[in-house]
Amino acid sequence: PDIQQRIAAAAAKTPAGEWIIGRGWDHTLWPGAKLPTRQDVDGFTRDHPAIFQRIDGHIALLNSAGLKAMGITRQTPDPEHGKIDRDATGEPTGIVREKVKDDILARLPKPTLAQRRRGIELALAEAARWGVTSVQDSISVEDDPAEWNNFLVYEDLEREGKLTARISAWLPFMAP
């Protein structure tokens, strides 16, 4: 499927050993509607740890390197409000649910300012491609102070004349 081509392209552009992070897959749209497994992406991610959130944000797929980086093995217990899917032999399939996914995402390296800017530029280009002229960004500095950098990127893009959409950012009253 298209997801494998996208993952392979991301892996080719990502420096060795860095995380590949993605979101938006929906297995219910694929032939057979089967959940993917770590084996489905291991060949495309090479030695990169990788995590891909499902479109609804409730589950994610990790590759084998991602499971290893997060210390998830057959002995790892399921936490309250979370689950590690396992195959018939008890090995993690790569699918993690709810609290497990949330805990992993909280431990991932934060994007650099340059990576954040590149992501915002790509999102703005996609919005422009579809004729979208206004977007919202719920900047959650209470949960992640680094998200303030989104606002700084928007300011830089505006100052440079490169902000191609009107941004409504929900900032807390006591933002830095």
pLDDT (tens digit, 9 = 90+) per residue, 22-66? 999 999 998 899 999 999 999 999 789 999 999 999 999 999 999
CB neighbour burial string for 127-152, b if at least 16 within 10 angstroms, e if fewer: eeeeeeeeeebebebeeeeebbbbbe
What are the tens digits of pLDDT across the range 81-120?
999 999 999 999 999 999 999 999 999 988 889 989 999 9
Residue 163 CB neighbour total at 10 angstroms:
16
Residues facing residue 53 across a β-bridge: 23, 60
Residues 6+ apart with CB under 8 A from 89: 74
CA dihedral for 133, 57, 142, 66, sign (positive or negative): negative
pTM of the predicted model, to two decimals?
0.81
Cα R_g (the chain), whole angstroms: 18
